[in-house]
Amino acid sequence: MSRVEEFLNYLRTEKNCSEHTLKSYRIDLREIEAFIRQNGPQWISENEVQWEKLTILPLRAYLGRAYGRLQAASLGRRIAALRSFYRFLAKQGLVQNNIARELAAPKLPKTLPKFLGVEEAFRLMEAPKGEDVQSLRDRAMLELFYSSGLRLRELTGLRLSALDLPTGMLRVKGKGNKERLLPMGGKACDALSAYLAIRPQISAQAGHEDFVFLGVQGKKIHPRVVGRRLEEYATKLGLPKKVTPHMLRHSFATHLMNNGADLRGIQELLGHASLSTTQKYTHISLDKLLEVYDKAHPKA
């Protein structure tokens, strides 16, 4: 097994990284490997890159070559992959010097998260109109996204045992396999109850899968299907934005912030490891703060 595959296996088993993350890391590290094979044969032995002997120069050469064709975010992702990979190698005692720490990540332009207005969010929640299993499932998914601020893969990976409808709470495993307890709104609980009552119609097809949200074949719903269904509803409503599952998560956080929720509390609900990640929502709420100022300040 190559060092890269050892690293990916570690991320899968020890860090519980998503398949999406693993795929991205594999693509990035394989591309770097290919560059080293082509431009630095002295670093190859038995058809494998000798990462423990590698110097910083070929990595900088790769990044220099990639600089002109990649956007800052893509370049930053490759540097993050290298840093994480070398931390693993150092932890395993396979390298003495973590050379990836010397790689400087490009500065990314600050972009504010996009979100729906409250009225737009309410309209979207009501978009699935039917009483068939697919419509009830979609309504429950939308309500849960908005009421609990779930990430897409947290929602698709949600199991029946994680739901406690009588108390309105659910357990979620987020990034880094960290578990958090989240409240569900009354509308979300009602939508889930309606869906779960009819869910056995499709779960029986796949031997009674225990994932909450299932596709038409009775198996765990694919994240792409969720995104596609959401986009279809948004298009029918004529919403002016390209609506994504993550936009509902942003809407959840922004609406909490605009209604006076504590930043630390929002951090806990979102499952952010760092408060700095949550602080971007304070910028979004600037319009709300100015509105309050205009109404309340005697000199405004």
Catalytic positions are: 151, 175, 246, 249, 272, 281
Cα–Cα–Cα angle for 65, 69, 75, rounded to 5 degrees: 75
Helix axes 118-125, 245-258, angle to 10 degrees: 130
Encoded amino acid at 175, one letter: K
Neighbours of 78 (CB within 10 A): 23
Which residue type does 94 have? Answer: L
Overall size of the chain counted in residues: 300
CA 196 to chain centroid: 25
C-alpha to C-alpha distances, 253 to 94, 113, 267, nearest whole angstrom: 42, 10, 9
The C-alpha atoms of residue 85 and residue 83 are separated, in whole angstroms, by 5
Name the nearest CA neighbour of 184 among 145, 127, 155, 126.
Answer: 145
